[in-house]
Copies of this chain bind each other. A is one copy, B any other.
Amino acid sequence: MQDMKEASQKSSEEPKARVPKRQRGHDRVAVLLEAAAKVFCERGYDAATMTEIAAEARSSIGSLYQFFPTKPLLAEDLHIDRLERLKAVLRDIGEKADGLSAADIGEEIFDRLAAFIEEFPEFPVLAGRRDVPRDRKARSRAELKEHLASLLRRAQPPVIDDVGLLSAIILELLRIAVTTASDPDAVEDQRLVRELRLMLRKRLEEASAKG
């Protein structure tokens, strides 16, 4: 039966994504995630349907649910995947950050994140989902900000301003770049993004100790 809501005695309340144990399963999960990414990106979270995602993955609806037992969990898993990749990018930036000026670091971040979002345009959709608990959203954002802050702290000459605030600025300017990137106003937008980058550079230069 399908309605065990009232007085359900089921012990495990929330189903968790079944972990694939075979190669076949792993592959399928990967394909499903990419299909989800595409559909979420094209339609938005609400309008995306599990059926379309399954179809996009050339899979059956049953297979989709085998690994992702609810739509929110699918989105969540995809989001987590993207966050992992994002962290990898930041780690990568970190490896060459030492000795760079804050402005250079900032620009590097800006560019890499912009590229990241161009590669994974579903990211903002996932991050902006309305049915994600506020606190989780905030936590995720705070983590990212702290990541950026730790990068800025390694600038030479050192940043004397509040790196937290600066990180927030980076993030927000980036958000613009992201949003505009999705519009096809090509020429205008590119100029706009360049402007924002420049504003960021100036701000970071101001924030650095005079060499």
Q: Mark A residues whose CB is within 8 Å of B.
A: 1, 3-9, 42-44, 46-47, 70-72, 130-134, 138, 164-165, 168-169, 172-173, 175-176, 179-180, 183-185, 188, 191-192, 195-196, 199, 202-203
Instruction: From known contacts A6-B72, A71-B3, infer whether A169 and B183 are also in contact, taking CB-CB under 8 Å.
Output: no
* Given A6-B132, A165-B188, 11 new contacts (CB under 8 A): A3-B131, A5-B72, A7-B133, A46-B47, A138-B183, A169-B192, A169-B195, A172-B180, A172-B192, A176-B176, A195-B203
Specify the chain B residue showing the minimal Cβ separation from A173.
B176
- For this chain, the copies found in one complex come to 4
Judging by beta carbons under 8 Å apart, are B176 and A3 in contact? no
- Please name all residues of chain B whose beta carbon is closer than 8 Å to the beta carbon of A71 when the two chains form the complex: 3
Judging by beta carbons under 8 Å apart, are B176 and A1 in contact? no
- The SS class assigned to the A binding surface is helix
- Please name all residues of chain B whose beta carbon is closer than 8 Å to the beta carbon of A138 when the two chains form the complex: 183, 185
- Please name all residues of chain B whose beta carbon is closer than 8 Å to the beta carbon of A42 when the two chains form the complex: 9
- Please name all residues of chain B whose beta carbon is closer than 8 Å to the beta carbon of A192 when the two chains form the complex: 165, 168-169, 172
State A180–B175 Cα separation when bound (angstroms): 11
9 contacts between A and B (CB under 8 A): A1-B46, A5-B131, A6-B133, A7-B132, A7-B133, A134-B183, A165-B192, A165-B195, A172-B192
A162 to B: closest C-beta gap in Å: 8
State A202–B202 Cα separation when bound (angstroms): 10
State A47–B47 Cα separation when bound (angstroms): 9
Judging by beta carbons under 8 Å apart, are A164 and B188 in contact? yes
State A180–B188 Cα separation when bound (angstroms): 25
